[in-house]
Structures are given as C-alpha cells and as structure tokens.
Amino acid sequence: MNRETTYNFIIDEDNQSTRIDSVLSLLLPETSRSFIQKLIEGGNLLLNGQVMTSKKYKTCEGDRIEIIVPEPEKLSVEPENIPLDIVYEDDDVLVVNKPKGMVVHPAVGNYTGTLVNAIMYHCGDRLSSINGVIRPGIVHRIDKDTSGLLIVAKNDFSHLKLAQQIKEHTFSRRYEAVVYGKLKNLKG
C-alpha cells in the first residue's frame, strides 16, 4: 500500500512575493529545498486547486498550497559486502575514504560495486532517505576516479544539517591534485 503525506498551507503577508520552493522549504524545515523542487517538477503541488510545476512562481497572499509527499520508494539497490575504509563513525554520520575507481551511487552501467552498495551493507536501514532510493545517506559525492573522504548521513536530521552547512559554506571541502606538465594557471 502506497502512503503519501499531504500538507496544506495558505500564504500569509510574510510569505508573499517569494518563490514557492523557498516558501515551502521554510514551512517544511525537515525537507530539503532540492527535494521540494523535485516534488513541484513532478506535479505534486497544487496551487489554488491547479497543478503547478514551476518552482519559480512567486506566491501571493491568500494562495492555497497543497503539496503531496509520496512515500519513499523501496530501495532496489542491493547491499554488498564491500570493504570500507571507515575514518569515523557515530550514530549520525559515517566518514569513509572512497578509493579511486569506485562509483558513489548506482547509475547506468554501474548498478553494483558502488559506495552505496557497501554502506547499505555496513549500515543496514540506518541511512538518511532524503536523496531517494539510489543515494541513501549521500550528502555530497566525488567522481569515480577521485579518492577522498565522504560524509554519509545516517539519519534525515544529520543529512539536513550537513546539506545546510554545505549550502551556507560553513562546511569546507579541500581538494588536492597531483599534476604533470606546465600549467597555464596556478589555481583553478
């Protein structure tokens, strides 16, 4: 049985003339703005009784908003017993050193052997569901041919807090690269 949750709001004077995705991220603080945008684009938003698919719509006082949040899909990605280089772990986060050559999450051509398969085996059902069925717990990623530390959220609360820090640039990331030859620019 598929369960969904419906939220209803009426826009007040304080929230008028603001993008609808921004307003909803304030009204639903436990939900990320990018997830709200996906819901809007997927036709899960009714504005004054009509389907609205534009996340850029500027709200008006008195607008009636109904947003439908579908139940998270059951994950079809299988856990795999792949060794992880765990640097840190607690009840909220897992920090892993992703090796070069490992894909972070399943995608076309890489449905197995990914970091997600490995962390699903390690963590079981203790992962954030915010990024959907293919990327449980994944807050940020690095390319397949890049090695480095990744933070994995083990619950939705830590996922939202980490995503907020990345958005507000209070969470810093540092990259180092080894290059060969003459470089045109010393930074970039």
Residues tagged active-site: 143
DSSP state for residue 53 in the 8-state scheme: -
- Distance from C-alpha of 152 to C-alpha of 90, rounded to nearest angstrom: 11
- Structural Rg of the chain based on CA atoms: 20
Contact indicator for 151, 90 with CB cutoff of 8 Å: no
Specify the long-range contacts of residues 23-26, CB closer than 8 Å, at least 24 apart: 23/59, 23/65, 24/65, 24/67
Helices and strands per DSSP (H, E), number in the chain = 4, 7
Encoded tokens for 101: 């050559």
Task: Name the 3-class secondary structure at 115.
Answer: helix
Contact indicator for 125, 188 with CB cutoff of 8 Å: no
